[in-house]
Amino acid sequence: MFDSLKDRFEKVFTSLRGKGKLTEEDVKLALREVRLALLEADVNYKVVKDFVERVRQRATGQEVLSSITPAQQVYAIVFEELLDLMGREVKPLSISPKPPTVYMMVGLQGSGKTTTAAKIALKMKRSHRPMLVACDLRRPAAVEQLRVLASTVGVPFVGPEEGETDPIRVARRALERCSETLVDLVIVDTAGRFQIDQELMQEVQDLKGAVNPHEVLLVVDSMTGQEAVSVASAFNDRLGLTGVVLTKLDGDARGGAALAIRAVTGTPVRLAGLGEKVDDLEVFDPNKMAQRILGMGDVMGLLERVQQATSEEDVERLSESIKRNRFTLEDMLIQLRQVQKMGPLEKVIEMLPIPGVSKALKDANVDPKRIKHMEAIILSMTPRERRNPEIIKGSRRRRIAQGSGTSVQMVNQLLHQYEQMKDLMKAFGKGPKRGFKVPPGL
Ligand code: GDP
């Protein structure tokens, strides 16, 4: 999902990484890339223009915080703006205090309307008794499709009787049946066409007037990009939508619809279709979506793990070592244990917020077993050796290898890594010494 958009954003942040201060030129170049990324994702050009302008204002107007790098700063701004664009809250589908609740599904043919009606029925079945109602009477196949889906998800179904052509009558009959069947949620599938036309709109509007729905959900195909946004506008003007369901986000949709629908129509995306199966439906969560787009990984999850794995004592000790430029193998052991405590390494790597790095680490094939070996090697050393690694020469190396069940080569490797970490810590010790606030590396 959104792969090329993600790659583009990654490039923007990579180009800013390592910069100590943001110049006007940096901001200009970064914004040009952001603009291209969004346009390429098929986001409406006016939405892009406003978006870039807001990021520009915030990026240039903000004082440079010493605790985070410019790349992180721009990253945070773009993240915030993406949330503003898509809306921040996740609003669950409403339920009427006076049953039955009625949802009306509208949309063009082929958008996934009928499938989505069944997906919603399945989701709501956990807490309610939904019924599926076929009111797309122009296409007999649509009625049949919904009947089959209703039986797949195991909910009651109401469709037209022989020769019946008035969708309002079918809907009314369904509503009347609610009390006898204990149904408290009626999901009405309506007629779809390949294009918006007057007749279709009128029919759906009349049906809306008759069933008085609590939710009017427009189903749009995310693969159609800006077209999906215009469809949403047209339906919203005529019917007053309460939400949009974006389908086929499992494909290679470029993202334009997900980003622009709310900005253009004022109607939030409420649900996301992620496949053809009846359980492939997710609540559309702008936060998660922004994280996916920016390749942020699960930063909050990562921070939590880091915090859980790091005891106050360890932090004290490490910062003391760094300050005094006395990073020993004992400190390295603490760090290795932290990494282990953080959970499966692959998961941690996946959560890394730093564009590019997580891929590089994955490619380097970090093996959790190696960490165990490294720990064993350090534990086979005497305390004196751990504090003074420079004394570990040939015969000591052989003893340590034997004691830890590894090889001299692996001991050499660990000592080499230790040297590298020490250098890193030295450099780190010269920089700001405050706590872990924002994801490092950008
Ligand atoms: P309708 O004409 O709007 O009622 O559309 P349908 O429900 O018949 O769906 C049209 C096609 O899109 C079907 O082949 C569905 O299986 C497929 N479809 C629906 N939603 C999704 C989705 O979220 N992902 C994928 N990959 N296919 C979907």
Please give the pLDDT value at position 435: 33
Task: Tell whether ligand 1 has an atom less than 6 A from the beta carbon of residue 335.
Answer: no
Of 402 and 306, the structure prediction assigns the larger pLDDT to: 402
Least confident among 4-18, 54-68, 137-151: 54-68
Residues 61-89 have pLDDT tens digits of: 655 544 456 666 777 788 888 989 999 88
Q: Select the more confidently predicted residue: 15 or 312.
A: 15
Q: Which of 30-44, 75-89, 227-241, 318-332 has the lowest mean pLDDT?
A: 318-332
Instruction: Give the model's confidence band at 427: pLDDT under 50 very low, under 70 low, under 90 confident, else very high.
Output: low
Residue 273 CB less than 6 A away from ligand 1: yes
Query: Using a 6 Å cutoff on CB, does residue 217 contact ligand 1?
Result: no
| Residues near 113 by beta carbon (within 8 Å), at least 6 away in sequence | 105, 106, 107, 189, 190, 192, 219
Q: Are 167 and 137 in contact, with CB atoms under 8 Å apart?
A: yes
* pTM exceeds 0.90 for this model: no
Residue 236 in contact with ligand 1 by CB distance below 6 A: no
Instruction: Supply the pLDDT for residue 336.
Output: 75
In this prediction, residues 315-341 reach a mean pLDDT of 74
Residue 192 has a pLDDT of: 85
Ligand 1 atom closest to the CA of 280, numbered from 1: 23
**Nearest CA among 119, 169, 118, 178 for reference residue 146:** 118
pLDDT at 80: 84
Question: In the predicted model, is pLDDT for residue 133 greater than 90?
Answer: yes
* 299 has pLDDT over 70: no
Residue 115 CB–ligand 1 contact under 6 Å: yes
Ligand 1 centroid to 251 CA: how many Å? 12
In angstroms, how far apart are the furthest CA atoms of the chain?
Answer: 94
Pairwise pLDDT comparison (304 vs 238), residue with the higher score:
238
| Confidence at residue 295, expressed as pLDDT on a 0 to 100 scale | 67
Q: What are phi and psi of 242, to 5 degrees?
A: -105, -15
> Residue 302 above 90 pLDDT?
no
Is residue 22 within 8 A of residue 74, CB to CB? The reply is yes
Cα–Cα distance, 298 to 285 (Å, whole number): 14
| Atom number in ligand 1 closest to CA 136 | 4
Question: Considering only 98-107, 156-165, 232-241, 308-317, which range has the smallest mean pLDDT?
Answer: 308-317
Residue with the smallest CA separation from ligand 1 atom 16 is 276
107 lines ligand 1 (CB under 6 A): yes
What is residue 67's predicted lDDT score, i.e. its pLDDT?
47
Question: Which among 276, 280, 284 is the best mutation to test ligand 1's pocket, defined by most ligand atoms within 8 Å of the CB?
Answer: 276
ipTM of the complex: 0.99
Phi, psi of 259 (to 5 degrees): -80, -35
Stronger pLDDT, 414 or 21, i.e. the higher one:
414
pLDDT at position 356: 45
Ligand 1 within 6 A of 110 CB? yes
pLDDT computed for residue 440 by the predictor: 39
Structure token pair of residue 268: 């939030």
| Structure token digits, residue 83 | 């949330």
Q: Which atom of ligand 1 is nearest to the CA of 142?
A: 4
Rg over CA atoms, the chain: 29
pLDDT at 62: 58
CA 279 – CA 259 distance, rounded (Å): 24
Q: In what order do the strands lie in the sheet with 157-158?
A: 157-158, 130-135, 185-190, 101-107, 215-221, 243-247, 269-273, 281-283
Q: Tell how far the Cα of 276 is from the centroid of ligand 1, in angstroms.
A: 6
Residue 433's φ and ψ, nearest 5 degrees, are -105, 20
What percent of the chain is modeled with pLDDT above 70? 79
What is the per-residue pLDDT across 102-117, written as a single tens digit (0 to 9) for each? Answer: 999 999 999 999 999 9
More confident: 21 or 119: 119
Segment 178-236, tens digit of pLDDT: 988 899 999 999 988 777 788 889 999 999 999 999 999 999 999 988 889 999 999 99
Q: Does ligand 1 have an atom closer than 6 angstroms to the CB of 271?
A: no
330 lines ligand 1 (CB under 6 A): no
Q: How far apart are CA 289 and CA 259, in angstroms?
A: 9
Residues 6 or more apart whose Cβ sits within 8 Å of residue 84 = 54
Report whether pLDDT(288) > 50. Answer: yes
Q: Is the pLDDT of residue 353 over 50?
A: no
Q: What is the pLDDT of residue 384?
A: 92
Report CA(115)–ligand 1 centroid distance (Å). Answer: 6
Across 31-35, 82-86, 300-304, least confident range: 300-304
Report whether pLDDT(439) > 60.
no
When mean pLDDT is compared across 105-109, 156-160, 206-210, 331-335, the lowest value belongs to 331-335
Highest mean pLDDT, choosing among 270-274, 284-288, 333-337, 425-429: 270-274
Ligand 1 centroid, distance to 85 Cα (angstroms): 26
Domains and CATH numbers, the chain: 3-86 (1.20.120.140), 101-285 (3.40.50.300), 299-430 (1.10.260.30)
- Candidates 140, 145, 147, 133; CA nearest to 163 is 140
Mutate to test the pocket of ligand 1, among 115, 246, 269 (most ligand atoms within 8 A of CB): 115
Of the candidate ranges 89-103, 160-174, 315-329, the one whose mean pLDDT is the lowest:
315-329
Q: What percent of the chain has pLDDT over 90?
A: 45
- Give me the pLDDT at residue 355, please: 43
Say which residue, 57 or 209, is predicted with more confidence.
209
Ligand 1: does its nearest atom lie under 6 Å from the Cβ of 199?
Answer: no
Atom of ligand 1 nearest to the CA of 189: 4
Report how far residue 118's alpha carbon sits from residue 311's, in angstroms, rounded to the nearest whole number.
49
Q: Which of 191, 276, 274, 386 is nearest to 285 (CA)?
A: 274
Q: From CA 150, how far away is CA 133, in angstroms rounded?
A: 9
pLDDT at 63: 55
Structure-model confidence comparison of residues 417 and 109, the more confident one? 109
Helix axes 140-153, 113-124, angle to 10 degrees: 20
Residues of the binding site = 107-114, 189-193, 247-250
pLDDT, residue 106, reads 96
Check whether 421 has a pLDDT greater than 80: no
Mean pLDDT of 160-167: 92
Give the pLDDT of residue 306: 56
Instruction: Give the annotated binding-site residues for GTP.
Output: 107-114, 189-193, 247-250
CA of 111 to the centre of ligand 1 (A): 6
Lowest mean pLDDT among 38-52, 262-276, 297-311: 297-311
Nearest by Cα to 34 from 17, 50, 19: 50
Nearest-angstrom CA–CA distance, 92 and 138:
31
Q: In angstroms, what is the span from residue 232 Cα to ligand 1's centroid?
A: 17
